[in-house]
Structure 1
Amino acid sequence: MFFTYLRRELRRRRKAALVVASGLSVGIALVIVVNSVSTGMNRAQERVLESLYGLGTDMTVTKAAEPPGEGGAVRAPRFEFDAGEEGEEGAQQSQDIVMVQGFQSLASSTVSQVARQDGVADAVGGLSIRVMKVDGEFTRGAVETVPRDGQGEQDGPGAGGGPAGGTVRGGGAAFDVDAYTAYGTDVTRQDLGPLTTSKITSGRTFRADEKDARVVVLDSAWAKEKGIEVGGELTVSGEKFEVIGIATADSGDAAAQVYLPLKQAQTLADAKDKVTTVYVRAEDSQRIEGVKEAVQKNVPGTTVTTSADLADTVSGSLSTAAGLASGVGKWLSYLVLGAAFLVAGLLTSSAVSRRVREFGTLKALGWRSGRVTRQVAGEALVNGLIGGALGIAVGLAGAWLITAFGPTLTAELGGGAGAFGRGGGVRMTGPGGDGPGGASRALDIALTAPVSLTTVGLAVALAVTGGLVAGAFGGWRASRLRPADALRRLG
């Protein structure tokens, strides 16, 4: 009897049921879209941090910045070229300068010191270096002699305002400068650090016995730009390295263009037993702050940066959109949902008022108030479930549209913290950055709106809640009706 009457009433009052369900569906769809976008923002920020930290990395340890006036000034790179042999025309010159990225390094012993701290599950060191390669040639100028009063060439040096009685014309120098970053990795511990954010797509990765081997793994985008393939060679400071693998970054932007064994990086940069960064994995994600405090206390002269610290420095359109999604978006969705609940309740209560004759007659026939209340609540609950189904469908469609046609956001990592301990606020706009001390990086991240089962479950719960709220309004109104009211309406 309950379901028969319920089905009949819903069919008879389809327009009213559709209005209530539509109001609830709008609020539920908005909640789904906002939650999905927020999830997409969080994943995008995680991708930004992972591209700098490495998968599984909870924090990094770098050298603490020295106060102004201490440690001496950093000497700029100096290039020195030979003049070439006498009579040589167009002498080709080439030179590499390899330096520690950011000019800050720690002793290799810091890695084991950090690993001994309570709560640290694993720690591995890496050396970030920068290679600046200059290629070009000098062109000798031509000496033109100066005639004297039209009587022939002038003899004697200095008599014409130029060398040996003449003027030098033409000549000069033309040089190309190429800069790229390289990362020295501990080949015996490749499960931690920036290389973990890339996948080997050609060739192989390092073997544990290649600690001092002259082998490199190249980033796929950089290798394509330079036209280098697996089996080829890369020359750095006159040393030839065999290319054993090509890696593609998961985030679309690699942490470095070249990866090589740590010992080789230390040799090239003249940084024996030095590292720039210690990558740390905590035993428990809930103890990260405690591990940070322990390292700061027991390993002096270092700066500890957690993923939460680094996330605070992410700016750009990604940060702006994330703030809107988590702040304005959530509050807006909650307000709309609350308004939908209220409207559904008021509409249901109003519908009950229009059914006074019906409910009064049912009570006169023997229906108790509780049965009438359950009937009204059942209708409202079905309306809520219909609204929930519509809301889930609209929300899924909205999330799909955002994923398919959403904008590309830019995430900029500000100076002061970084995976390699680089200081400054220079934005890295290309493979090599803007200078030896370039700190910031800019990544383009496609906006997605993944819908999780938790979000769908939340939508179902909201649909049921909306139905119950509307049923509570209508049931309360129906329970107050008396058979006498129906009899008066009959008259």
Structure 2
Amino acid sequence: MFGIYLKRELSRRKKAALVIALGLALGIALVITVNSVSAGMQQAQDKVLKSLYGLGTDMTVTKARAAPTGNSSGRPKFDFDAKADSGKSQSSDRVTTQGGQSLKSSLVTRVAAQKGVASAVGALSLNVTKVDGSFTQGKAKSSTSGSGQQGGPGGGRNGGTGTPQVQGGGASFDVNSYSVAGVDVTRQDLGPLATSKITTGTTFTSAQSDAKVAVLATAYAKENKYTVGKTFKISGTPYKIIGIAAPDSGESTTDVYLPLKQAQTLGDAKNKVTTIYVKATDSKQIDTVKAAVQKNISGTTVTTSADLADTVSGSLSTASNLATSVGTWLSIAVLVAAFLVAALLTSSAVSRRVREFGTLKALGWPSRRVTRQVVGESMVNGLLGGALGIALGVGAAAVVTAISPKLTAQLGSTGGGGGTGGPVGGGPGRQAASAARNTVDIALSAPVSVTTIALAAGLAIAGGLIAGAMGGWRASRMRPADALRSVA
């Protein structure tokens, strides 16, 4: 009886039922779209953090660079023999550590021993500035003064020779700067090379901890026409290229990867590192581990992915803020409005059915049965609206994924290591020579999760219950006398 009456009443009021369902559908669709876009923003930000932070890395330990002391300015200085033969090529490499003050390698063991730390690995970041070119010596020539003119020093008054002048000569030098990361070859899953994959050749082996071998970034190798098997020099030391690495996502700012011991030798930083990459045993305890490291190892700066996320700016950050703030509040406002409209329309429909409900009560229907009838109709409307809303929301999310709008993420300095480059606070190859930001382009997607679908279904049921509750309460208060008065 309940099902038959329910079907008949809904078929009689198709327009009203459709209006209520569409109102709920729009609110639910907006909620699904905003949640999906927000999830896409989170995924995009995670890609940015991984490309700049290190796959599997939860935090890094660095030390801020100290101010220059005495007459040391820290500026590069190159000395050349200006009396060299004309056209003779000269070259000089200046290798410096970058990203922060060096740390003792023994700190890696201390950090790894802290409670909550699963593993820790050290890395050394270097910057190589190469200057090469040649001097061309000028030639001294004398000019002859005209008759009757005053000669210059050493010249006569009449027909003497003028002051000797140097003509020609000069210098032509090219300056090239690139970054080098010293990698612990025994733990390549954690550190600067963890965010890249070898596309040509091989990576380091544990036996190459102090070998003169190198892995080059794809962009740097292509720019300088390096291939696997070739050899290049840094400060006169030859290194054999054994592999070419491409970043998993974004653009890596590291150009050359060397075994850590070789990097320490180049940078005159024996038993030193600039960054310690840390992986926690539990991602939920990262803040606790950070506090423990800072407390037990003084003078260091610990940077987590949350700290890094605060430095992300650009269109990704702007869109994420809009989705989080404006989008969330807008979806809530639309959903509340949809619920109110559904409730008001249901209550209004009940008011127009005074004769019907009054007659049913006169025939012996108790108030709870009338209420159940109204709630049942509202629940059907809510479920219909939920189905339409899920379809619209999934469709909108699919459109966003298909378009894949490009967003730009810029990573600023975290202030920990004196440079940019992610949570390393100046980790291997992550710092620009200046305060320039590392920029990554990310394609936005809008994944729809099962949780989002479940949320939409719950909202549909809630909308139906709210509308049915208001309508049922109004219907339950009607008396059979009301129906008789409406007939009269």
TM-score after normalising by structure 1? 0.89
Deviations 1:346-399 (A, max 9, x none): 111111111222223333344332222222212211211221122222222222
Q: Which residue of 2 aligns with 1:327?
A: 325
Q: Is the contact between residue 375 and residue 469 of structure 2 (CA under 8 Å) also seen in structure 1?
A: yes
Q: Which residue of 2 aligns with 1:3?
A: 3
SS of equivalent to 2:252: coil
Report how far residue 246 of structure 1 moved: 2.1
Q: Is the contact between residue 179 and residue 432 of structure 1 (CA under 8 Å) also seen in structure 2?
A: no
1:137 aligned onto 2:130: no
My pick for the range that moved more, 180-189 or 350-359, is 350-359
1:23 aligned onto 2:19: no
My pick for the range that moved more, 222-231 or 184-193, is 222-231
Report how far residue 212 of structure 1 moved: 1.0
Q: Which residue of 1 aligns with 2:450?
A: 453
- CA distance in 2 between counterparts of 1:233 and 1:5 reads 86
Q: For residue 21 of structure 1, what is the amino acid of its counterpart?
A: A
Total equivalences in the alignment:
477
Q: For 1:222-371, list aligned pairs within 5 A.
A: 222-371=220-369
Q: For 1:378-393, list aligned pairs within 5 A.
A: 378-393=376-391
Report how far residue 266 of structure 1 moved: 0.8
- CA distance in 2 between counterparts of 1:157 and 1:136 reads 37
Q: Is the contact between residue 102 and residue 438 of structure 1 (CA under 8 Å) also seen in structure 2?
A: no
Q: Is the contact between residue 194 and residue 255 of structure 1 (CA under 8 Å) also seen in structure 2?
A: no
Q: For 1:139-288, list aligned pairs within 5 A.
A: 139-149=136-146, 165-288=163-286
Deviations 1:301-354 (A, max 9, x none): 211112222222223332222222212221121111111111111111111111
The percentage of aligned residue pairs carrying the same residue is 62
Report how far residue 170 of structure 1 moved: 3.6
- CA distance in 2 between counterparts of 1:71 and 1:400 reads 62
Q: Is the contact between residue 62 and residue 100 of structure 2 (CA under 8 Å) also seen in structure 1?
A: no
Q: Which residue of 1 aligns with 2:418?
A: 422
- CA distance in 1 between counterparts of 2:301 and 2:431 reads 23
Report how far residue 192 of structure 1 moved: 1.0
Q: Is the contact between residue 41 and residue 320 of structure 2 (CA under 8 Å) also seen in structure 1?
A: yes
Q: Which residue of 1 aligns with 2:80?
A: 81
Q: Is the contact between residue 410 and residue 440 of structure 2 (CA under 8 Å) also seen in structure 1?
A: yes
- CA distance in 1 between counterparts of 2:468 and 2:415 reads 54
Report how far residue 84 of structure 1 moved: 6.2
- CA distance in 1 between counterparts of 2:64 and 2:74 reads 19
My pick for the range that moved more, 216-225 or 16-25, is 216-225
Deviations 1:275-303 (A, max 9, x none): 00011111222222222222112212211
Q: Is the contact between residue 219 and residue 248 of structure 1 (CA under 8 Å) also seen in structure 2?
A: yes
Q: For 1:369-448, list aligned pairs within 5 A.
A: 369-405=367-403, 407-417=405-415, 421-423=417-419, 435=433, 438=435, 440-448=437-445
Report how far residue 444 of structure 1 moved: 2.6
SS of equivalent to 2:207: coil
Q: Pick closer, same or farther for the CA change 1:230–1:102 going to 2, 3 Å.
A: same
Q: For residue 79 of structure 1, what is the amino acid of its counterpart?
A: F
- CA distance in 2 between counterparts of 1:220 and 1:125 reads 24
1:99 aligned onto 2:92: no
My pick for the range that moved more, 1-10 or 379-388, is 1-10
SS of equivalent to 2:61: strand
SS of equivalent to 2:193: helix
Q: Is the contact between residue 234 and residue 242 of structure 1 (CA under 8 Å) also seen in structure 2?
A: yes
The root-mean-square deviation of aligned C-alpha atoms, in Å, is 2.9
Q: Which residue of 1 aligns with 2:45?
A: 45
5+ unaligned residues in a row in structure 2: which ranges?
none
- CA distance in 2 between counterparts of 1:401 and 1:471 reads 34
Q: Is the contact between residue 74 and residue 103 of structure 1 (CA under 8 Å) also seen in structure 2?
A: no
Q: Which residue of 1 aligns with 2:471?
A: 474
TM-score after normalising by structure 2? 0.89
